[in-house]
Amino acid sequence: MIEPKEMTTPVGESASCERPFASQDEFQGFRVNQSYEHSILSFLPGHKSTAIPYKVDFNSLQKLCIQNLKQISDIEISSGSITAEQLATIKQAGICSIICLLPDKEIDKNEQAEALKLGLNFRRLPIRGVEDITFDNADKFEQILQEVKGHPFLVHCKSANRNASLITLVAYKYNDNDAEQALVLGKFWGPIRPPFEAKLRQLMSH
């Protein structure tokens, strides 16, 4: 098994997003060693992570005062809304990919253009509200997680509620969690509002 090595992006440098991939077993070992009990990545079928793990500079992200910012693991960050102006610092902190769950009326109109300008990987899955919390969208979200391939990512919506709701469904479907276990994991990623929790419980009851 590859021994995990802690790695922090030096101040003033952005992370290189090209590193050799480790096997699923190696990533699972890293996850256990690092107590990644709320990580979603190792649960996904066919997931690969880097042999030399990244470490996001979470302290730099905290200085941006982003609502409901949460460090899930060294490479998984969940949050509420971000602005285009914050993206340079987000990249400098070691983030390689942005996953945006906001619909057109809520997103910073410059976010995608600025992310691409900075060389960030940008993925978007617009979730308008509770009506879009479905297993179909959970499958699309899981595919996005596969596409980021274990590189550091930040997933955001407005308050992290939609992040947490989709994570709940992914955990339920792909990790064989029961509904209560999936909700516990989801709520670590962000607050889940009562109408969303009711919808999740309904979906997971079938």
Give the pLDDT score at 120: 95
Cα atoms found within 13 Å of the Cα of residue 41, Cβ hemisphere only:
32
Q: Is the pLDDT of residue 158 over 80?
A: yes
Q: Is the pLDDT of residue 35 over 50?
A: no
pTM: 0.80
Rounded to the nearest integer, the mean pLDDT of the chain is: 81
d(CA 152, CA 201): 30
Q: pLDDT band at residue 37, thresholds of 50, 70 and 90?
A: low
Q: Is the pLDDT of residue 44 over 80?
A: no
Give the pLDDT score at 202: 98
CATH class belonging to 21-204:
alpha beta
Q: Is the pLDDT of residue 142 over 60?
A: yes
Q: CB burial class (10 A; 0-12, 13-18, 19+) of residue 90?
A: buried
Rounded to 10 deg, the angle between the 194-204 and 161-174 helix axes is 10
d(CA 133, CA 138): 8
Give the pLDDT score at 17: 60
Are 161 and 191 in contact by the 8 Å Cβ rule? The answer is yes
Give the pLDDT score at 42: 58
H helix intervals, 55-134: 58-62, 87-92, 111-117
pLDDT digits (tens, 9 = 90+) for 89-133: 999 999 999 999 999 999 999 999 999 999 999 999 999 999 999
Q: Is the pLDDT of residue 67 over 50?
A: yes
Q: What percent of the chain has pLDDT over 90?
A: 65
Give the pLDDT score at 114: 97
Q: pLDDT band at residue 144, thresholds of 50, 70 and 90?
A: very high
Better-scored residue on pLDDT, 142 or 20: 142
Are 125 and 101 in contact by the 8 Å Cβ rule? The answer is yes
Q: Is the pLDDT of residue 175 over 50?
A: yes
Q: Residue 25, Cβ neighbours under 10 Å: how many?
A: 11
Give the pLDDT score at 55: 78
Q: Chain centroid to CA 11: how far?
A: 23
Q: Residue 188, Cβ neighbours under 10 Å: how many?
A: 16
Domain positions in the chain are: 21-204
Residue with tokens 């391939």: 149
